[in-house]
């Protein structure tokens, strides 16, 4: 028979200090959701089953003891660190879940400027690590817009990516070693090695698991030299997205690696830049050793000029935009206030595709959302992470909420928009999720996303979480284990 919430709390308090097993209703409410449900929560409505407790763990041994107890008793675990998730990964989808909050595990274990490694516990905020590294002339190279909000465990668990990804890569390119705890209590450590060929790369079982396979307790990332004096910014106004994608592709396939390479469509451009004049905005930033930055900058200018007329934007405007891009807690509060006042809300859906399909994905999604969804007040998007073989598309959309109850926002607007973007992307051969994770709300398409390789993904779940206690409904649809 399932344990009562009171019994679960009492049992956990027997091995974890009482003041770190939190049962206050307000805390439970806040920990039952993430930003996917921001409209409901702004109105004080919480539709997910409240967890039995939020447990603030202090080390890997506690995580191990807790997970073993939960596994033995069939209790759902929702791992959490920075709480900036956007796709429902933090929703407590079943009764009497326990939220395992690792934000107190915030020790920077070591910074090694010779082997160029930094080891941190899962609750270290990225911004804290980055500031510490910069004091020593180093950087993580990781700069997601959520840098002031997110913590290292969550960043690794979601396969996050930063604005400088074209040079430094996504988090998967940065992680060297890891420690993670599995539901049976097994604490596993993957050593810090520059590369090895001793079988498959098991780091990738952990990176991107979204708390659905294991709990990440420690991360080692590579670090880079921080050389901001060499940064250069470039901006151009273009007439159409097709030309922008062609320029991005050319820069990539010729082998240049700017840190930032971005292309905004006119609507999204107008939202970000007061100089956009209703055109597409193409942006590059180059950095690194001076000579490399200069060569990369010169090559970008040449490639752009070969693609016909493009109005150049003053570089200080691009620099100024870049330096004010990130979201901190104050901006989150400001957004909530604005939504409440205006009843207008914005979300994003990010996908990816090869160069051959990305423009079609962009056009089809925009056309269908415009035709099929009511009350849209802004619809646009940008490409922000490019690769040799393709790029991503980050769709941005705002709508007025007309004649609905707060809890209907998701079904009337957000789901139908997500559905169009995901369907069109998968149909064209792209991926339905570029960097926010699957969370709980893109699971209906997970089998289509993977095709025959879903066998591999599903087998990981069966092997590592046979009782299905890890973050039920995340990555894997709720009815499956
Ligand atoms: C304003 C804003 C801007 C954003 N910009 C970006 C961006 O530029 N790039 C980007 O990639 N993302 C971005 N995001 C999304 C989000 O910040 C990232 O997904 C981030 O990686 C989440 O980190 P977190 O510490 O907040 O994790 P949480 O929100 O706490 O958790 C995220 C997911 O990881 C799981 N998880 C958390 N901790 C652990 C752990 N220790 N072990 C196992 N699983 C765990 C959770 O269960 C959940 O599924 C943005 C979000 C916001 C709100």
Rounded to whole angstroms, the Cα distance separating 244 from 263 reads: 6
Rounded to whole angstroms, the Cα distance separating 75 from 226 reads: 45
Q: Whose CA is nearest to atom 8 of ligand 1?
A: 144
- CATH number assigned to the domain covering 228-323: 3.30.70.3450
User: Which CATH fold topology does 5-102 show?
Assistant: 3.30.43
Q: Whose CA is nearest to atom 3 of ligand 1?
A: 146
Structure tokens at 106: 């915030």
Minimal CA–CA distance to 299: which of 267, 334, 251? Answer: 251
Rounded to whole angstroms, the Cα distance separating 334 from 89 reads: 23
Alpha carbon of 162 to those of 1, 124, 174, 395: distances in Å? 46, 17, 11, 17
Distance (angstroms) between ligand 1 centre and the Cα of 121 equals 15
Structure tokens at 383: 């490409």
pLDDT in tens, the chain (481 residues): 789 999 999 999 999 999 999 999 999 999 999 999 999 999 999 999 999 999 999 999 999 999 999 999 999 999 999 999 999 999 999 999 999 999 999 999 999 999 999 999 999 999 999 999 999 999 999 999 999 999 999 999 999 999 999 999 999 999 999 999 999 999 999 999 999 999 999 999 999 999 999 999 999 999 999 999 999 999 999 999 999 999 999 999 999 999 999 999 999 999 999 999 999 999 999 999 999 999 999 999 999 999 988 999 999 999 999 988 888 999 999 999 999 999 999 999 999 999 999 999 999 999 999 999 999 999 999 999 999 999 999 999 999 999 999 999 999 999 999 999 999 999 999 999 999 999 999 999 999 999 999 999 999 999 999 999 999 999 999 975 4
- CATH number assigned to the domain covering 108-225: 3.30.465.10
Distance (angstroms) between ligand 1 centre and the Cα of 88 equals 10
Rounded to whole angstroms, the Cα distance separating 297 from 260 reads: 11
Q: Establish whether domains 5-102 and 228-323 are of one fold.
A: no
Rounded to whole angstroms, the Cα distance separating 393 from 359 reads: 9
Mutate to test the pocket of ligand 1, among 81, 207, 260 (most ligand atoms within 8 A of CB): 81
> Residue 467, SS3?
coil
Rounded to whole angstroms, the Cα distance separating 468 from 481 reads: 5
With a Cβ cut-off of 6 Å, ligand 1 is lined by 34-35, 78-86, 89-90, 102, 122, 144-146, 149-151, 153-155, 157-158, 160-161, 210-211, 215-216, 327, 435-437, 471, 474
Per the listing, tokens 């990738």 go with: 204
Mutate to test the pocket of ligand 1, among 59, 127, 158 (most ligand atoms within 8 A of CB): 158
CA 262 to chain centre: 17
Rounded to whole angstroms, the Cα distance separating 295 from 257 reads: 10
CA 266 to chain centre: 25
φ and ψ of 59, to 5 deg = -160, 175
- Enumerate the β-bridge partners of residue 353: 391
- Enumerate the β-bridge partners of residue 470: 77
Domain residues of the chain, as ranges? Answer: 5-102, 108-225, 228-323
């Amino acid at each position: 028979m399932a344990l009562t919430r009171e019994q679960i709390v009492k049992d956990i308090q027997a091995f974890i200090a009482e003041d770190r097993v939190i049962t206050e209703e307000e805390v439970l409410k806040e920990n039952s959701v993430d930003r996917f449900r921001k409209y409901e929560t702004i109105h004080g409505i919480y539709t997910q089953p409240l967890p039995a407790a939020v447990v603030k763990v202090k080390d890997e041994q506690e995580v191990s003891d807790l997970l073993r107890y939960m596994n033995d008793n069939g209790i759902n675990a929702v791992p959490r660190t920075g709480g900036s998730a956007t796709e429902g990964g933090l929703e407590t989808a079943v009764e009497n879940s326990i939220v395992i909050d690792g934000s107190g595990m915030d020790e920077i274990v070591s910074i090694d400027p010779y082997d160029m490694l930094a080891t941190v516990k899962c609750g270290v905020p990225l911004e804290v690590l980055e500031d510490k590294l910069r004091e020593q002339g180093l950087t993580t190279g990781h700069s997601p817009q959520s840098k002031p909000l997110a913590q290292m465990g969550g960043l690794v668990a979601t396969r996050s990516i930063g604005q400088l990804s074209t040079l430094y890569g996504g988090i998967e390119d940065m992680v060297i070693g890891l420690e993670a705890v599995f539901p049976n209590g097994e604490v596993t450590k993957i050593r810090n090695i520059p590369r090895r060929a001793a079988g498959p790369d098991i780091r990738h079982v952990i990176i991107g698991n979204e708390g659905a396979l294991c709990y990440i307790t420690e991360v080692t990332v590579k670090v880079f030299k921080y050389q901001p004096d060499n940064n250069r910014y470039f901006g151009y106004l273009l007439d159409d997205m097709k030309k922008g994608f062609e320029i991005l592709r050319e820069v990539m396939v010729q082998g240049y690696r700017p840190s930032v390479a971005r292309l905004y469509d006119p609507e999204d451009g107008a939202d970000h830049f007061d100089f956009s004049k209703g055109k597409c905005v193409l942006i590059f930033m180059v950095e690194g050793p001076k000579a490399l930055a200069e060569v990369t900058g010169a090559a970008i200018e040449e490639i752009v000029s070969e693609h016909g007329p493009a109005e150049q934007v003053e570089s200080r405007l691009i620099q100024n935009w870049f330096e004010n891009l990130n979201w901190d807690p104050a901006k989150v509060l400001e957004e909530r206030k604005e939504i409440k006042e205006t009843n207008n809300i914005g979300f994003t859906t990010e996908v990816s595709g090869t160069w051959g399909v990305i423009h079609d994905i962009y056009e089809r999604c925009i056309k269908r959302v415009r035709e099929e969804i009511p009350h849209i007040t802004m619809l646009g998007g940008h490409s922000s992470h490019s690769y040799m073989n393709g790029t991503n598309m980050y769709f941005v959309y705002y709508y007025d909420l007309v004649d609905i109850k707060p809890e209907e926002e998701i079904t009337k607007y957000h789901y139908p928009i997500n559905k169009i973007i995901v369907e069109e992307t998968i149909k064209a051969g792209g991926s339905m999720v570029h960097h926010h994770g699957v969370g709980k709300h893109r699971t209906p398409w997970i089998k289509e996303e993977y095709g025959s390789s879903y066998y591999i993904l599903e087998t990981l779940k069966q092997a590592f979480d046979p009782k299905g206690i890890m973050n039920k409904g995340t990555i894997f649809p709720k009815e499956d284990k």
